[in-house]
Amino acid sequence: MRTRGRPGAGPASPCGWAAGGDQACPGRRPSLCPRHSWLIYGRSNDATPSRRDGPGREQRVGGRFAAHEGRITGAGRRLLVLSHGFGTDQDAWHGIRPWADAHFRTLSYNLAGAGPGGAATYDPRRHASLYGYVDDLLDLLDEQAVERCIFVGHSVSGVIGLAAAVARPALFSRLVLIGASARYLNDGAYAGGFDQSDLDGLYAGMAANYQAWCAGFAPAVVGVPDGEAIADFSRSLFAMRPDIALATSRTIFQSDMRALVPRLERPAHLIQTREDLAVPLGAAEWLQRNIPDATLDVIEARGHLPHMTAPANVVAVLARHLAGTGD
């Protein structure tokens, strides 16, 4: 059976699905990849996806929750999933978690490459695409027998959660995306915030002297003179193995997830600061225009890490959108 991609989504990848941009299927299967068939047809697949990592090899997923240092707290009826962004780990939610635990059962985990066990969870082949991180999230939720959740993702985790919800809409009731972007590169009329030369300079700085790069990157991204937040962000950046940090940054900053955005079938609430070095306001407004059911809250805060520097502002938005939803 011949397959074709969604118009404008880009050419089919070696496994047969249209990815758009330069995101490639982690399996790269010569026949249709059962895990990612939803990207071709523009429809979701709520059957539990097959675990494949490479041609002909079944991937064992037992213990992923432990490997990613998953943590469940709180005693609420509804499940809230917290997924952090690049350069941080799940401790970045410390200002949000007391509120979350008072209203929800709260699940957090470390992305591949992050946290004390990050090097063991990172696979350069699987995680060369953001879809490797999507698979991590879905595998982890399946392992915990999660039937439905509210997803809160910061930065790159916003689009990781969005892609997971396109794949498995019944698993998600709604999403909150904090400082998220579908594409970081400027592209014609689309303002992602970076030119390729900007990113090439960033990669070169990381490769030349990772520690020195972190020392400059952390305060710039935090965006406010918050010594505790800068120290916390610096700690988690320094904890990443430099080669993994560089590879991860390339995967994130070169990604293009715009083709997936209109396919989201769940409500999304966007939280954006007025000044964000990593994500301009226009990128958040693009998401709001292209997600079928989206709201955008521009909060009175600066920087890319408002959940760390202005948690009360973020909690106020979360409470307004989530407290009475009944999801």
58: how many CB neighbours lie within 10 A of its CB? 10
Report the distance separating Cα 33 and Cα 93, nearest Å.
Answer: 35
Compute the distance between CA of residue 23 and CA of residue 251 in angstroms, rounded to an integer.
8
Domain ranges of the chain: 61-322
CA distance 197 to 309: 30
Per residue of the chain (327 residues), what is the pLDDT tens digit? 333 333 333 334 444 334 444 445 544 433 335 455 545 444 444 444 433 333 222 233 358 999 999 999 998 999 999 999 999 999 999 999 999 999 999 999 999 999 999 999 999 999 999 999 999 999 999 999 999 999 999 999 999 999 999 999 999 999 999 999 999 999 999 999 999 999 999 999 999 999 999 999 999 999 999 999 999 999 999 999 999 999 999 999 999 999 999 999 999 999 999 999 999 999 999 999 999 999 999 999 999 999 999 999 999 999 999 976 677
In the CATH scheme, what is the code of domain 61-322? Answer: 3.40.50.1820
| Residue of 155, 173, 234, 255 marked catalytic | 155
pTM of the predicted model, to two decimals?
Answer: 0.85
Instruction: Indicate if 135 belongs to the active site.
Output: no
Other C-beta atoms closer than 10 Å to the C-beta of 62 total 9
In the annotation, is 276 catalytic?
yes
84, 127, 304, 307: the active-site residue: 304
State the catalytic residue, choosing from 236, 276, 297, 307. Answer: 276
Give me the sheet containing 172-178, strands edge to edge. 71-73, 105-109, 79-83, 149-154, 172-178, 268-275, 294-302
Residue tagged 């698979």 (tokens) = 135
Distance CA 307, CA 223 (A): 13
